[in-house]
Structure 1
Amino acid sequence: MQLAVRWTPRMWGWALALWMPLTASAQFDDLDSFPSAEPERGCPKRPDVVPFTARNLVGLPGSGWLAHQAVIPESKDRFFPEAERDRSGVKLVPEEDLRKLGAPDRNVPLWVFGKADAAPCRAVPVTWWAVRMGTDADRKTYLMAELQVECDVLPPGRLSGTPVALRQKDAPTGCKLRRTDDSSTSDDGRGLPLELSDVLPERACEAPECTRKWEIFSSRWDDGSAVFDIAVSWMKRGGKKDPCEWETEDASTLLLRSVGALAPVPVKGGGAYFGALYDSSGPRTVLSRTLGTLNVHDAAKPKLAPKTVRYSSPTEEERVNAKRTLSPCKK
């Protein structure tokens, strides 16, 4: 025998009252189970950029990197007394001496950009060194630090693998470092792109007595913006067979093409192209290097002189080989 129960409006009300809190709780629990995405901060407008130097270049054993921290004034240099300041060397720095030597606040972490187009990772200094380097004409003592890094960093080698870091409290989420992703030379049999040839000085150079050689390294973005590092050499033979006797003129420039621009413009004070920090809005900071200096260019203001960060004193050999030329005789 089956009993038929007739649900009255009051009974339906009681059932809904009991059921609603359970469903509401389940809905809120579901929302809490999805972590909120961290908002992208992008690249900072005025980045505090930290260069790196290979350990072996300063006289330390092993493979790895040292992060530049400060230039130690001669008046505070107790590591290399007067008798030792005319030669290079490396000495360990006690932690209690860091602040008076100009070390930055250790509570502000470093965010290291290693591999191309990868997000930066957090790093903290663990060991500090006083590094004396340079020539008699230009020798300084630098405060450098070994880092504990939370990601893989390429070993020392080519310039394109040298890391760089930003010093700031919060992670620069959404900010990445782009390296050179395209290159071409006159040996490829192609002509120099017109948009680049317009910014180079004109020289009368007709084959076979004169040869013009060029090379271009560049980074490009989907929005049309790009950075170009171009070098050109004009070589006049003058009837001589030995390339070291040819009259050679060299020129190089760093160029930036902004979004929507028809042609690139020279970046003031640019050296050899190192890379560019970019985010969802495109390139924000262009980095170039000259001897012992990292140049930090504002991509929105290419005609503005860059901020420079001194991180080493070049050796005599580095100075001799610093001239950028495409001549077969590279003296």
Structure 2
Amino acid sequence: MRLAVTLGLLTLAACPPKRGPGGGPAPVGVGCPDANNVYVASYLTPEDGGKGHTGWVLPLHDKVVESVKGVAEYATLDHAAATAAGVPAPPQSVWILAPGVAPCRATIGNYYAAAIDAPTPNLTYGIELTGCQPPPDPSNASAIAAVSADPPSECQVIGPRAVASRLGEIDKQGKWQKPAKETPIPASLAPVIPNHECAAPGCEKLWSIAQVDVGGQPVAWAGAVNWLTVSDECEWKGQRFSGFFVVGPTGAPMKVTEGQDHPLALTAVLADKTGAKVLIAEGPGEYTTYTLGAGTATVGRHLVWLLPHPDSFEALDQLGPVCPEADPGSAVSPPKP
């Protein structure tokens, strides 16, 4: 990539909003918008020495091109140029939702185009947003952008919490160590996970499961399971399974597969006094919002806003040893029986 466009996932807690500075009565708040009026904003930071906007942006469109050679890394566009490129009109009342603070109404700025120097060259388009604070970690942040005429202060952003895991660690000598403890996969989720023969010490089964609760009841899960063949290589091969799930018509977990050009990860659920309303799932350069209700997750908005390097998709469900970036040829020693 020629721009450090953030692709980070949300790390959000269901904290009550705090009043912002200033006096006078607070504006009347409303609940969550429908899924079609929920977007994902990214925090954009130019690479060292690069030019462009630093701050929130709202991605809206992507276009594959033959080459980005000679194309500006980042450029603002007028309305006519954006329309000619196929960029849809942006929403006019956008609120950035962040944990622990009141929703921030962003000011709509210029259209932009950013060149992505990937194996499939592409241009990503959107609109600049100003007036809202940067995330705690500007290098790795995204945020929910809700479209609403009134502040959605009654809408909670609830992120998944870890409920089960079996994950090893790499020690200082570069050796993979078996987990000292593990939490079993929830019984309700176990039936939807496939079975593979995997017996130690030649194979290790690893997992990571998270859950979203609304009103004290689970409404969604995210999970990844790996069955990995132990070897002297720095990255182990094997079978992988991952996905996210909602409560289906029978009350059992149901895997969500629609609205994904590539596998996505559950990042948050929006809920208000009526219950869980919208589920948001993200991946590199792509996101989908889903309407929750009646045992279904219906696609509200699906957007591929950037085409990254294909390798970026591999990290989504990788739980085992990986090759160190600084020394890709080094080996990780297998665990001791």
TM-score by length of 2: 0.69
Counterpart in 1 of 2:21?
Answer: none
Task: Give structure 1 stretches of 5+ with no counterpart.
Answer: 1-33, 75-81
CA distance in 2 between partners of 1:63 and 1:127 (Å): 13
Matching of residue 149 in structure 1 with residue 140 in structure 2: no
Q: 1:225 to 1:281 in 2, by over 3 A?
A: farther
Identity of aligned residues (%): 19
| Contact 1:88–1:133 (Cα < 8 Å) also in 2 | no
Q: Which of the residues 76, 82, 93 maps onto 1:92? A: 76
Counterpart in 1 of 2:268?
Answer: 275
Matches within 5 A, 1:143-182: 143-150=125-132, 153-158=135-140, 161-182=141-162
| Contact 2:164–2:186 (Cα < 8 Å) also in 1 | no
SS of equivalent to 2:195: coil
Matches within 5 A, 1:2-41: 38=28, 41=30
Counterpart in 2 of 1:190?
Answer: 183
Q: 1:118 to 1:208 in 2, by over 3 A?
A: same
Q: 1:204 to 1:112 in 2, by over 3 A?
A: same
| Residue 305 of structure 1: how far off its partner (Å) | 5.0
CA deviations 1:71-103 (Å, max 9, x no partner) are 4697xxxxxxx7745867211223564555555
Counterpart in 2 of 1:31?
Answer: none
Equivalent position amino acid for 2:56 in 1: W
More strand by share: 2
CA distance in 2 between partners of 1:315 and 1:308 (Å): 20
CA deviations 1:241-300 (Å, max 9, x no partner) are 4464x5411110102237x97542222346112211111122211111123111112222
Counterpart in 1 of 2:31?
Answer: 42
| Residue 60 of structure 1: how far off its partner (Å) | 4.4
Matches within 5 A, 1:216-231: 216-231=209-224
Counterpart in 2 of 1:17?
Answer: none
Equivalent position amino acid for 1:121 in 2: C
Counterpart in 2 of 1:266?
Answer: 255
Task: Give structure 2 stretches of 5+ with no counterpart.
Answer: 1-23, 167-178, 329-337
CA root-mean-square deviation: 3.5
More helix by share: 1
| Contact 2:279–2:289 (Cα < 8 Å) also in 1 | yes
TM-score by length of 1: 0.70
CA deviations 1:218-246 (Å, max 9, x no partner) are 32223413322110000233xx44464x5
Q: Which of the residues 281, 284, 294 maps onto 1:291? A: 284
| Residue 122 of structure 1: how far off its partner (Å) | 0.7
Q: Which of the residues 106, 109, 112 maps onto 1:129? A: 112
Q: Which has the higher contact order (CA 8 A, sep 6+)?
A: 2
| Contact 1:67–1:144 (Cα < 8 Å) also in 2 | yes
CA distance in 1 between partners of 2:310 and 2:251 (Å): 42
Matching of residue 254 in structure 1 with residue 244 in structure 2: yes
